[in-house]
């Protein structure tokens, strides 16, 4: 799976200073001064690390005023991880584009990291990598959005409306999920494999190696703690957290209540070091008090509250469904050709990416046809452009009535069309192309009493599962070459060209 992830997505390169930090700590003879020199090159990073070292999060007995002292007091690993946290977060902060709230993402990520550290301390568990692991546990979501924004908006819309697990939706649309993407990114960036292994299983502790079980559980609980402050089921999350932790570790529920409040207090402080606005983040106990005061002020009965909640929920579900339908229509409009109603060139490129990926992943055949109308300029010159438009519309209908449900036809541009045939070998595609050519030859378009007949030239290529490689650009180029061969050899014919070995 990791190989497929890297082929399907262009993963961002690691920040240069992160690489230097990682390379320094990998050396057996690495000293505090070596790492300090790398960090001190960046004054802003240095200031942030010193702020964290002197914060209530670590409660140092004396002032930490140099990176070397931070290294000696906190340790090499902790300081390295604090530095990496700041560097990676800074690198992947992107301006809000209306489809994804990057500020909210990082606010939740930092809160998860703080939650994991506080939980670990309460459970007497020590792991220097925990803060970074929790911070980056959902980094795959960010990468998927940055690399495939249109499709990931679809994931988010479906999640909001259906409530289905986001991993299931990602698997259906991409063939992999954000856990795998996050793990692969950290491996690409050269972080220790324990980071990747932990993140790869943070939604599935049952499938993780036993040695990582506690780390994965802590990430799971940190996510629940974060949902108390940023989710819509705060009370439910708090009860579930207590149910999972208290019996297992013999901890009283009151201790968890105190921990939940402490998460807010510490998160506000750490968020300020990341230069992220914490908003009106208050301890959960205060939020409950405020909510109770508001209920008393409004003086609503229990029955009224239930009725209002039901009505609000129904209205929200209706609005969410309408929004999802509207988004689907907008996507359709963006991907449709206005004249023929077929998918357009933009959709063709995205679909080819998906089908090429699917064919390689599942070892399935894939064929591609490119064809255009012979001497179409003569049709426009002789009968006029409205007549030419009618020919294009009729041809589009004919192709759709000829092909299988699984095949996709697009208007590639002008009088040129493309047909993608999933799970189809080259001989099968040639049979279809020949049948289509004959049907077009028999097609008649009547405009203002005038009969118009056209022919098409078709170029065909296909991927055989026995071949070693399949690349979208090569496949399109090969089909295009076959099309030109058909035109050069007299038109109204089918030419087949094999993909290069």
CATH number of the domain at 173, please: 1.10.3210.10
Per-residue pLDDT at 35 = 77
Q: Mean pLDDT, the chain, as a whole number?
A: 82
Query: Given pLDDT bands bounded at 50, 70 and 90, which one contains residue 307?
Result: low
Tens-digit pLDDT profile for residues 363-402:
888 999 999 999 999 999 999 999 999 999 999 999 999 9
Orientation angle between helical segments 67-74 and 76-91, nearest 10 degrees = 120
Query: Given pLDDT bands bounded at 50, 70 and 90, which one contains residue 452?
Result: very high
> Do 278 and 141 share a structural domain?
yes
- Asked if residue 169 is part of any domain, the answer here is yes
Q: Which residue would you say has higher pLDDT here, 53 or 342? A: 342
The secondary structure element, H or E, covering residue 411 is strand 408-413
Residues in the chain: 501
> Do 141 and 43 share a structural domain?
no
Please check the confidence at residue 178 and state whether its pLDDT lies above 70.
yes
- Asked if residue 447 is part of any domain, the answer here is yes
Between the alpha carbon of residue 409 and those of residues 370, 397, 431, the distances in Å are 10, 10, 16
> Do 272 and 123 share a structural domain?
yes
| Token pair for 331 | 């996507």
| Token pair for 25 | 């700590």
Instruction: Give the CA radius of gyration of the chain.
Output: 29
Please check the confidence at residue 441 and state whether its pLDDT lies above 90.
yes
- Asked if residue 264 is part of any domain, the answer here is yes
- Asked if residue 292 is part of any domain, the answer here is no
> Do 256 and 141 share a structural domain?
yes
Please check the confidence at residue 418 and state whether its pLDDT lies above 50.
yes
Per-residue pLDDT at 6 = 46
- Asked if residue 425 is part of any domain, the answer here is yes
> Do 236 and 136 share a structural domain?
yes
Please check the confidence at residue 287 and state whether its pLDDT lies above 70.
no
Q: Are strands 416-422 and 445-447 parallel, antiparallel or unpaired?
A: unpaired
| Token pair for 287 | 């939020």
> Do 464 and 316 share a structural domain?
no
**Distance of alpha carbon 288 from the chain centroid:** 34
**CA proximity to 230, closest of 90, 52, 92, 106:** 106
| Token pair for 198 | 């932990």
Highest mean pLDDT among 105-109, 280-284, 328-332, 484-488: 484-488
Q: Domain with 434 in it: what CATH number?
A: 3.30.70.270
> Do 269 and 303 share a structural domain?
no
DSSP state of 212: G
> Do 176 and 46 share a structural domain?
no
Q: Read off the pLDDT of each residue in 178-201 and give the average, rounded to a whole number.
A: 86
Domain of residue 482 covers 345-496
Question: What are the beta bridge partners of residue 410?
Answer: 343, 418
Please check the confidence at residue 196 and state whether its pLDDT lies above 60.
yes
Q: Read off the pLDDT of each residue in 320-338 and give the average, rounded to a whole number.
A: 66
> Do 186 and 120 share a structural domain?
yes
Per-residue pLDDT at 443 = 93
**Helical ranges in 363-452 per DSSP H:** 376-383, 385-402, 426-442
Please check the confidence at residue 162 and state whether its pLDDT lies above 70.
yes
The answer to whether the beta carbons of residues 166 and 155 sit under 8 Å apart is: yes
> Do 109 and 28 share a structural domain?
no
- Asked if residue 325 is part of any domain, the answer here is yes
Query: Given pLDDT bands bounded at 50, 70 and 90, which one contains residue 99?
Result: low
Q: How many Å from the N-terminal Cα to the C-terminal Cα in the chain?
A: 24
Query: Given pLDDT bands bounded at 50, 70 and 90, which one contains residue 253?
Result: confident
Last residue of a domain, one of 36, 67, 91: 91
Between the alpha carbon of residue 124 and those of residues 118, 227, 251, 427, 492, the distances in Å are 10, 23, 12, 65, 77
| Token pair for 206 | 């049952």
> Do 47 and 23 share a structural domain?
yes
Query: Given pLDDT bands bounded at 50, 70 and 90, which one contains residue 203?
Result: confident
Per-residue pLDDT at 390 = 93
Split into its structural domains, the chain has a count of: 4
Please check the confidence at residue 110 and state whether its pLDDT lies above 70.
yes
- Asked if residue 383 is part of any domain, the answer here is yes
- Asked if residue 293 is part of any domain, the answer here is no
Last residue of a domain, one of 56, 91, 126: 91
Per-residue pLDDT at 187 = 85
> Do 458 and 395 share a structural domain?
yes
Per-residue pLDDT at 2 = 45
């Amino acid at each position: 799976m990791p190989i497929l992830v890297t082929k399907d997505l262009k993963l961002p390169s690691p920040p240069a200073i992160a690489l230097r930090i990682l390379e320094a700590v990998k050396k057996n003879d690495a000293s505090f001064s070596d790492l300090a020199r790398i960090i001190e090159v960046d004054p802003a990073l240095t200031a942030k690390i010193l702020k964290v070292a002197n914060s209530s999060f670590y409660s140092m007995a004396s002032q930490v005023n140099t990176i070397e002292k931070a290294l000696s007091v906190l340790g090499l690993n902790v300081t390295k991880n604090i530095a990496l946290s700041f560097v990676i977060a800074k690198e992947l902060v992107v301006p809000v584009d209306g489809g994804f709230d990057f500020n909210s993402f990082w606010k939740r990520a930092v809160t998860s990291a703080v939650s994991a550290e506080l939980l670990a301390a309460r459970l007497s568990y020590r792991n220097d990598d925990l803060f970074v692991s929790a911070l980056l546990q959902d980094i795959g979501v960010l990468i998927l959005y940055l690399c495939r924004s249109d499709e990931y908006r679809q994931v988010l819309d479906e999640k909001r409306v259906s409530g289905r697990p986001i991993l299931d939706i990602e698997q259906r649309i991409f063939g992999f999920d954000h856990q795998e993407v996050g793990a692969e990114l950290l491996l690409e960036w050269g972080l220790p494999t324990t980071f990747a292994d932990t993140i790869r299983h943070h939604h599935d502790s049952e499938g993780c190696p036993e040695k990582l079980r506690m780390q994965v559980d802590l990430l799971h609980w940190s996510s629940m703690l974060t949902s108390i402050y940023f989710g819509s089921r705060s009370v439910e999350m708090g009860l579930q957290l207590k149910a999972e932790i208290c019996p297992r570790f013999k901890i009283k529920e009151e201790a968890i209540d105190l921990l939940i409040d402490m998460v807010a207090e510490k998160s506000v402080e750490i968020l300020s070091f990341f230069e992220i606005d914490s908003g009106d983040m208050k301890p959960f106990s205060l939020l409950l008090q405020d909510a109770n005061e508001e209920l008393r002020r409004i003086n609503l009965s229990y029955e009224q509250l239930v009725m209002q909640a039901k009505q609000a929920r129904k209205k929200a579900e209706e609005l969410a469904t309408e929004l999802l339908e509207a988004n689907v229509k907008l996507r359709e409009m963006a991907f449709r050709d206005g004249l023929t109603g077929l998918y357009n060139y933009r959709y063709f490129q995205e679909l080819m990416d998906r089908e090429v990926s699917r064919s390689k992943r599942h070892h399935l055949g894939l064929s591609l046809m490119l064809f255009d109308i012979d001497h179409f300029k003569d049709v426009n010159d002789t009968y006029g452009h409205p007549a030419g438009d009618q020919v294009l519309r009729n041809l589009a209908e004919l192709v759709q009535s000829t092909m299988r449900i699984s095949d996709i036809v697009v208007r590639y541009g002008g009088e040129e069309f493309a047909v993608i045939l999933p799970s189809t070998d080259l001989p099968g595609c040639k049979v279809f192309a020949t049948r289509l050519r004959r049907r077009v030859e028999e097609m008649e378009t009547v405009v203002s009493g005038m009969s118009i007949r056209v022919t098409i030239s078709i170029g065909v290529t296909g991927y055989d599962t026995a071949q070693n490689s399949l690349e979208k650009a090569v496949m399109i180029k090969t089909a295009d070459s076959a099309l030109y061969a058909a035109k050069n050899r007299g038109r109204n014919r089918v030419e087949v060209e094999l993909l290069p070995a």
